[in-house]
Chain A
Amino acid sequence: MHDPTPEAGKARHAISLTVNGTAHAVDVDPRQHLGDFLRQTLQLTGTHLGCEHGVCGACTVIVDGAPVRACLILAVQADGASVTTVEGLAGKEGALHPIQSAFRAHHGLQCGFCTPGMLTTLAAFLADNTSPTEAEVREAISGNLCRCTGYQTIVEAALSAAQTLRGEG
């Protein structure tokens, strides 16, 4: 895997990491953040950059099980990590994660720009807590901005996905 746009004169670092189950060994620029690395180097453009300063949450990916803002960590810091992006939430045969189906069923997305970050944040949250209250879901996405939906349908989708994950849906 070769970064098409190396920066002249800067040392590059070799990292290896797993993204959506695929192992990568890559040389990266030391200042490249994980979001740019995923989007530009791996061409995984499902991860979105909405603010590039750590507030909007659109860039959230799951790093070793925890939701992380990809604009706030450097690619080199992900050395050795296992990363899941929105492209990796669905199962091998393309079966959607319950949170993905629930977003569709409950109209949890409009423009879809915040959606990858919402989905990864909630997938990680629901992995820890399959019986959340509405308030807990709202807290879980308190670091994700959505300008379109007003959040209500996202919360409904998360509660419904939790039900599915509990085997009740």
Chain B
Amino acid sequence: MGARYFGAAVQRKEDDRLVVGRGRYLDDVALPGMLHAAYVRASDAHARITNIDSSAALGVPGVIAVFTARDFGAENRPTAQMAPSPLLQQAPTWSPLADKHVCYVGEPVAMVVAETRALAEDAAALVIVETDPLPAVTDYKSALDPGAPLAHADLKSNLAASMQARFGDVAGVFARAARVIPVTLEMHRGGCHAMECRGVVAAWSPAGDELTVYSSTQSPYPVRKGIARHLGLDEHCVRVIAPDVGGGFGPKAVFYPEELSVPLAAQRVGRPVKWIEDRREHILATTQQRDQLWTVEVAVAADGRLLGLRGRIVHDNGAYVPYGLILPGTTVQSLPGPYALEALDVTLDVALTNFVPTTPVRGAGRPNAAFALERIADIVARDVGLDPAEIRRRSFVKAAQMPYPTGLNGRDGTPIAYDGCDFHQSLELALARFDAGDFRRRQTAARAEGRYLGMGIATYVEDTGLAPFEGATVRVDSNGRVIVETGAASQGQGHATIFAQIAADQLGVDIADVTVKSADTGVFPLGIGTIASRVAVTGGSSVLMAARNVRAKALKIAAVMLEAAESELTLEDGHVQVAGGSNKKLPLGALAARLEGIPGLPMPPGITPGLSDTAYFEARQTTFACGSNVAEVEVDIETGGVKVHRYVVAHDCGLLINPMLVDGQIRGGVVHGIGNALFERMIYDEGGQPLTTNYGEYLLPTAPEMPNIEIVHTQTPSERNPLGVKGAGEGGTIPATACIIAAIEDALAPFGIALREHPVSPQRLIELLADKG
């Protein structure tokens, strides 16, 4: 069969609905008799709750109920750990509503249910929560020091876990090194800020034994499991549906307290209940990524080659650990990046603080590791007096070393081994496209005019296609329509289109004849979630496997019906035909009709009912995408303003199923990383009060200051899945922050300014410039 669709820039199937305003997002779900919820949220970072008075709220006409922790009884217990790990020493999780203590500003304390959202919000403002403030942990850097306040009054320390990344002869490498350079780095990643906030709708069956939950989640199956276990329901009694989801970026993969309290409230009031997060709540109560502090030393050979890294990372995990160590784990497992280090010894300490919990945001802990490694490479380059590109050439893992075991183990305990990455090639491609020689000439000329241009480079490697599996059912209806059912949820990536491309190629049908249904636990039994750039690899491969099997089955039944040998048959244009000029053929629909069964007529021997198949692709080995970025910026030394003039990406994520969609993922990802470099900072005061609670205060990238992003693809097929693909969802973000910061530092090289942090605001640059006089 020809690959008509695989590899082509096919227009998206999703868009017909979305460009005419006929999407169905969470807030578009309206059920008969539905009520609306609003939360009363903690206004202290850490406090004991002494009293809650709901009487005034209950007196508001249209208010049906006000719930506190006590009303939910035993069902208000803390949620189960989503990602258990033996490394977790103390891992408090959140409860549907805070009971005795609140541990971050924004933690849900009470819940008002009313006829309208406006009334629920009015009444929520009338609920009086009295508290006794407790000392709060609002500086993660000192959270693990002796004498620090405690983030939870009932814990003995703020250490949730300590993770190690270690290989090689560390003492020997550092003893032998020509130089050992100390580096301290601070990074801040900001939040999710999907344009659609979170939301939950819950409705119970009339008998009260079946629950349907709509949630704007990336992970319908973990949400189903979480709800079923917590409420003591059988999983088949809970159906979780993610409708159109307006962006995810990580934080929507977490199982949230509201996904329990909304069903609990609906159960108690006997009507469906909807909660729509507003933007302030999103900034307060949706998980974020925030800070890491790196205090490390790098060992360098006489020729500038990076030899080893050792030191400590402190990671701000917020008040709870709902998602295990997934986020900090991705930081340590991303070491040593593209660098062929001989030795590594890094400890990452996970600190509990009195802020909203942190969980992965696009790239998870990888952008942190990339920022650290790329800054280190630049620092070494400057120290040794070599071009930053040259340091990298000398230090990268070589293509000939693939598969390259990094020396560390992955989450499953097996060795991490990069596959199919050519870091040298990607760096040279990006540099060639950028034309670094020309840039240096322009930079010199500009400096003479008092204009400061800078160039940054950054290379990354990303583990994609996370285990364990996704699955898909492919079936053909008697009208010839192909239906793909899968658990993999979409938040805008275009999965329906790429799955349809894959199935249409296998079954020789037009892509318009393929319908994709997903993100509904009532449609497909098992799934993991749309996280960690994994769906094209796992979901895509499962669609391919199932579609291949359906194709084989179609040929088998056609052979019976056409009285021909299978080897004589071709499947094209939705028909199975006998080859060699015969016009004997049958449409797929007729084959499907035969396999749907005819009363009284036995199935043909050896062929099971239904022109369909279900397959699961199990990711046994992680696939690795890689790439290099080069950016050009201009810094205005009067205002501290930074303009990004150019941005070049060389990228290898294996074979491209749909290059247009991959480019979209890369560009969106890069802009997210630019936001992390220049704009996005979640600011709290010393008492843990958030100060950036709207989009006038928390800045996101907007169109005028974003560059066009030029992309050069190489396509090294992965041998670790049948499609030959690798994930593409986060590779744009991972190196981008490092690349921009490097470019700013290069622009300000005449002033000797060292950037060891992100984001850098204009104010910060002016401060640094002023320090240099």
Using CB atoms and an 8 Å cutoff, list the residues of chain A in contact with chain B: 5, 7-9, 31-32, 39, 44-53, 55-56, 58, 85-87, 89-90, 96, 100-101, 103-105, 107, 109-116, 119, 135, 137-139, 141-155
| A45, A52, A154, A155: most-surrounded residue (chain B CB, <10 A) | A45
Residues of B with C-beta under 8 A to A90: 20
| Binary per-residue interface labels of chain B (1-32) against chain A in the complex, 1 for a CB within 8 Å, 0 otherwise | 00000000001101110111111110110000
Using CB atoms and an 8 Å cutoff, list the residues of chain B in contact with chain A: 11-12, 14-16, 18-25, 27-28, 61-62, 115-116, 118-119, 193-197, 244-247, 249, 278-279, 491-494, 660-661, 663-664, 667-672, 694-696, 700-704, 706, 708-709, 732
Contact of A107 among B244, B661, B703 (CB under 8 A): B661
- In the assembled complex, the Cα of A48 lies from the Cα of B62 at a distance in Å of 26
Tell me whether chain A's interface is mostly helix, strand or loop, or mixed. Answer: loop
Residues of B with C-beta under 8 A to A155: 703
A147-B195, A155-B703 known; A115+B664 contact, CB < 8 A: no
A53-B694, A111-B491 known; A150+B667 contact, CB < 8 A: yes
Residues of A with C-beta under 8 A to B278: 52
- In the assembled complex, the Cα of A49 lies from the Cα of B16 at a distance in Å of 21
Number of A-B contacts defined by CB within 8 Å = 177
Residues of B with C-beta under 8 A to A119: 19
Residues of A with C-beta under 8 A to B196: 48, 50, 111, 113
Q: How far is the CB of A4 from chain B (nearest CB, A)?
A: 9
List 5 additional A-B contacts (Cβ < 8 Å) besides A87-B20, A153-B667: A112-B246, A150-B670, A150-B671, A150-B709, A155-B703
Residues of B with C-beta under 8 A to A45: 21, 24-25, 27-28
Residues of A with C-beta under 8 A to B494: 110
Q: How far is the CB of B301 from chain A (nearest CB, A)?
A: 39
A-B contacts, 19 listed (Cβ < 8 Å)? A5-B115, A48-B196, A50-B246, A53-B696, A85-B21, A87-B20, A87-B21, A103-B15, A104-B15, A109-B15, A110-B664, A112-B14, A112-B18, A141-B702, A142-B704, A146-B195, A148-B492, A151-B671, A154-B703
Residues of B with C-beta under 8 A to A152: 667, 706, 708-709
The answer to whether B492 and A112 touch across the interface, beta carbons within 8 angstroms, is yes
Q: How far is the CB of B359 from chain A (nearest CB, A)?
A: 17
The answer to whether B704 and A86 touch across the interface, beta carbons within 8 angstroms, is no
Residues of A with C-beta under 8 A to B15: 103-104, 109, 112
Tell me whether chain B's interface is mostly helix, strand or loop, or mixed. Answer: loop
Q: How far is the CB of A134 from chain B (nearest CB, A)?
A: 8
Residues of B with C-beta under 8 A to A146: 195, 703
Contact of A151 among B194, B245, B703 (CB under 8 A): B703
- In the assembled complex, the Cα of A141 lies from the Cα of B702 at a distance in Å of 8
The answer to whether A55 and B696 touch across the interface, beta carbons within 8 angstroms, is yes
The answer to whether B115 and A103 touch across the interface, beta carbons within 8 angstroms, is no
- In the assembled complex, the Cα of A143 lies from the Cα of B703 at a distance in Å of 9
Residues of B with C-beta under 8 A to A51: 279, 694-695
Q: How far is the CB of A147 from chain B (nearest CB, A)?
A: 5
- In the assembled complex, the Cα of A46 lies from the Cα of B493 at a distance in Å of 20
A139-B704, A152-B709 known; A31+B118 contact, CB < 8 A: yes
Q: How far is the CB of A80 from chain B (nearest CB, A)?
A: 24
| A31, A114, A146: most-surrounded residue (chain B CB, <10 A) | A146
- In the assembled complex, the Cα of A148 lies from the Cα of B666 at a distance in Å of 10
- In the assembled complex, the Cα of A151 lies from the Cα of B668 at a distance in Å of 8
Q: How far is the CB of A166 from chain B (nearest CB, A)?
A: 21
| CB-CB nearest in chain A for B667 | A150
Residues of B with C-beta under 8 A to A143: 702
Contact of A103 among B19, B667, B672 (CB under 8 A): B19
| CB-CB nearest in chain B for A29 | B118
The answer to whether A115 and B18 touch across the interface, beta carbons within 8 angstroms, is yes
Residues of A with C-beta under 8 A to B696: 53, 55
Q: How far is the CB of A11 from chain B (nearest CB, A)?
A: 15
Q: How far is the CB of A32 from chain B (nearest CB, A)?
A: 8
- In the assembled complex, the Cα of A152 lies from the Cα of B706 at a distance in Å of 8
Q: How far is the CB of A86 from chain B (nearest CB, A)?
A: 4
- In the assembled complex, the Cα of A112 lies from the Cα of B732 at a distance in Å of 20
| A56, A90, A107: most-surrounded residue (chain B CB, <10 A) | A107
The answer to whether B21 and A148 touch across the interface, beta carbons within 8 angstroms, is no
Give the top 8 A-B pairs by smallest Cβ distance, nearest first: A46-B21, A111-B492, A113-B246, A110-B492, A112-B18, A150-B671, A86-B21, A55-B695
A45-B28, A48-B196, A149-B668 known; A7+B19 contact, CB < 8 A: no
The answer to whether B19 and A49 touch across the interface, beta carbons within 8 angstroms, is no
- In the assembled complex, the Cα of A106 lies from the Cα of B11 at a distance in Å of 8
Contact of A150 among B21, B195, B706 (CB under 8 A): B706
Q: How far is the CB of B300 from chain A (nearest CB, A)?
A: 36
Residues of A with C-beta under 8 A to B197: 50
Q: How far is the CB of A91 from chain B (nearest CB, A)?
A: 11
Contact of B279 among A52, A105, A113 (CB under 8 A): A52
